[in-house]
Chains A and B, each alone.
Chain A
């Protein structure tokens, strides 16, 4: 053998042997065997193989805890109460926890490794969450950066309340080597149980939205997990003051058309404030104006913040919060039924709207929102 090769070959051989030893040891030492996860005091008991993070272990048993980051520990959405002692919180968990949550033994399911039998608590509504196989039935461009995507479920039906969201499972693509999940509010109505419609806005640099806008085609298969979320219409006679921009419209589309279809909450008046920068950023204008014409208790206010003269925009102008303020002071009737706020969008938009609503007499406990972040 060529003496020059002896050295590298020896090193390669030793490395291989070491790697094998590590693999065997890992299998032996990290073999936690079968363990039991007891949920909600024994309401559900799962026999699972230990050693994996709790989030994935539960998902393998078709119990889906919300996660926007697919278990990478960056979203903080997968909180659950661990009754058993699993040791102190990890440094990867504490940025997402309040002191009260830490004291209550709330953990991130993606950061808890199942090393022994556990007792945990989960909201019961998680038990109705399922994973659905679907195909893309239709993709429509609503604006230059928002697509309406209609998914047809391959089998089964989805039951949800207007306002809830699903997580779509984006497969690996390009430089992205593993699947990711992202949450989107459903814009379809609950009465259509075999379809899910989402409004997806392109976020520059965004993994999921880049996939949807640049790669996803009609006929493609995609998995959906859901439904999740607490955002919904509250059963009171109070008028709904709804504010959204861009893809924030999604839950409201579901809510409005569902209310119109079912005539639920017949005492509620509905005011919808939709803001965008220019008319190129507006969508569903005709549909919502038609809805307003045929449904007397629905009032639609569209506002542009920077219309150009060429657009000949006839509607309201200004930031949506300024328009909202003007209408609450001068146009939305005040009566003994009161007002409640419904918001969907970025934290900045929601915080700004909350300030305007509070200034106009809506108390914070009557303002409901689905913050994107």
Chain B
């Protein structure tokens, strides 16, 4: 299937140094289209719904904000909602999002033994938008990748 011009432009903007220094693709060698396609299949196999996952991530962010920048226990999870200076545009050009970082990990795994992507989810408001609207979880190796199997294990 041919890539639309909007998607082509979005994929170009995902490269390191365009919107963020690290970009959105990590060290994934797959094209963004393949990443979206394969993660979509993965979501189906795991019984996950993009909107439901996005809602849960937003809920955790809200609850994490009660920690006032410090980690806070939410059920069996430790959530920390932090902020950084600035805003980030969506690569698809459909919005600007506050630059923040929410980390979610099991309460019994210390931070210094957490492996990003395996024990800990890190996401921002932009990540949630990319997931909900564009079904884009980011490439493997990106610290902000929303790995479907980790989402299932941690959040549901």
Interchain nearest-CB distance for B18 vs A (Å): 8
- Of A54-62, A288-296, A334-342, A346-354, which binds chain B? A346-354
Interface size on A, residues (CB 8 A): 45
Contact with A along B55-68 (1 / 0, CB 8 A): 00000000001111
B97 to chain A, nearest CB (A): 10
Contact B87 A76 (CB under 8 A): yes
Measured CB to CB, the closest approach of chain B to A352, in angstroms, equals 6
Which B residues lie within 8 Å of A68 (CB)?
84-86
B14 part of interface (Cβ distance < 8 Å)? no
Contact between chains at A306 and B73 (CB < 8 Å): yes
B88 at the interface (CB under 8 A from A): yes
Name the distance in Å between A118's Cβ and chain B's nearest Cβ.
25
Closest to A248 in B: B69
Complex Cα spacing A164 to B27, Å: 37
When distances are taken between beta carbons in the complex, the residues of chain B under 8 Å from A112 are none
Give A281 to B65 CA distance when docked, in angstroms: 17
What are the interface flags for A312-331 relative to B under an 8 Å C-beta threshold, 1 for contact and 0 otherwise? 00000001110000000000
Of A74, A202, A373, the residue contacting B19 (CB under 8 A) is A74
B72 touches A175 (CB 8 A): no
- Is the CB of B134 closer than 8 A to any CB of chain A? no
A180 and B70 form a contact (CB under 8 A): no
Q: Are B70 and A275 in contact (CB under 8 A)?
A: yes
Q: Among A1-9, A11-19, A203-211, A257-265, which stretch is in contact with chain B?
A: A203-211
Residues in B with CB closer than 8 Å to A373 are 83-86, 98-100
Contact A206 B101 (CB under 8 A): yes
Encode B67-93 as 1/0 by CB contact (under 8 A) with A: 111111100000011111111110000
Q: Tell me, in angstroms, the Cα distance from A70 to B82 when the chains sit together.
A: 21
A75 partner residues in chain B, CB cutoff 8 A: 85-87, 99
Our pick among A95, A176, A348 for the contact of B21 (Cβ within 8 Å) is: A176
Chain B residue at minimal CB-CB distance from A352: B68
B residues less than 8 Å from A200 (CB atoms):
none
B105: shortest Cβ distance to chain A, in Å? 9
Which residues from chain B contact A159 at a C-beta distance below 8 Å?
A: none
Q: Do residues A348 and B65 form an inter-chain contact, with CB atoms below 8 A? A: yes
Does A204 contact B103, Cβ atoms closer than 8 Å?
A: yes
* Contacts A/B (CB < 8 Å), 25 sampled: A68-B85, A69-B85, A72-B20, A74-B20, A74-B87, A77-B86, A95-B87, A95-B89, A144-B111, A145-B112, A175-B23, A175-B27, A178-B17, A180-B21, A204-B122, A204-B143, A205-B101, A275-B70, A277-B72, A306-B72, A320-B68, A346-B83, A347-B83, A348-B81, A372-B84
Task: Give the interface of A toward B (CB within 8 A).
Answer: 68-70, 72, 74-77, 92, 95-96, 144-145, 175-178, 180, 183, 202-207, 245-246, 248, 275-277, 281, 305-306, 319-321, 345-349, 352, 372-373
